[in-house]
Amino acid sequence: MIVASFLAPRPEHPRWRDYIPSLRLLQESCDRLGLRHVVIGDADLPGFDVFHANLPRELMPAFVLGQAAAMDALDDDLLLVGADCVIARDPRAVLRDCDIAVTLGEFWDCRLNTGAIWIGRAVRRRAAAMWRQAHAEMGVLWGDDQLAIASQFEPLPDLRLLPLVEERQELRVKFLPVDPWNLAPAGAENDVSHAAILHFRGNRKAWSPAWCQRFLGFGGDACAT
């Protein structure tokens, strides 16, 4: 399995921030589990294995098209994650009984969170076509990437039924709860080390190295912003 994150530097974007410290944490978490980590992007990132893609300048479309290009090219099972995620537990078993897996939660903007998406090797090119369809219908505002990708999996099931495997676009899709599959710690002292993937969304990045050191045993020397 390849863990594929995304970083296309766009310093002019109003929501842009330095994700390199977060990527270092993600890399260390993959190394300890024997997982290959690839960064999807359009710039050289010293110290990281980068899959170079030809991307538009608009950040949200770049995210969707970059993932689609990676699905076409990377010949393995894929775990697509945010640059601010950390792999805490081996994620490979998720694909044993499905083609694709996504996580759902009680989010105000989009119930499907793109912090963790599993794509089986055998269906990666079919998934890439779904992502390109999502791109064809999406906007350029922050979060439009999630809405566009979520539209490819509609109808999204009731959260009370999760985990659940259903067919979407002739693919077996596993809908997983964010706890424990794509979980954001509530605070620096919140022990959620049972989760498979930790998602340090928003201001959580500031204390993510200390959290990882305390609860997972690595990352204490990193500096996140």
| 92 in a structural domain | yes
The label of the residue with tokens 């009984």 reads 97
- Structural domain of residue 53, as residue ranges? 2-177
pLDDT tens digits for range 140-198: 999 999 999 999 999 999 999 999 999 999 999 999 999 999 999 999 999 999 999 99
What pLDDT sits at residue 13?
A: 87
| 53 in a structural domain | yes
| 10 in a structural domain | yes
| 113 in a structural domain | yes
Number of domains in the chain: 1
| 71 in a structural domain | yes
pLDDT tens digits for range 110-153: 999 999 999 999 999 999 999 999 999 999 999 999 999 999 99
CA nearest neighbour of 85 among 23, 38, 41, 139: 23
Domain of residue 34, CATH code? 3.90.550.10
| 112 in a structural domain | yes
Strands 100-104 and 171-177: parallel
| 223 in a structural domain | no
User: Kindly report the CA angle at 86 between 51 and 166, in degrees rounded to 5?
Assistant: 80
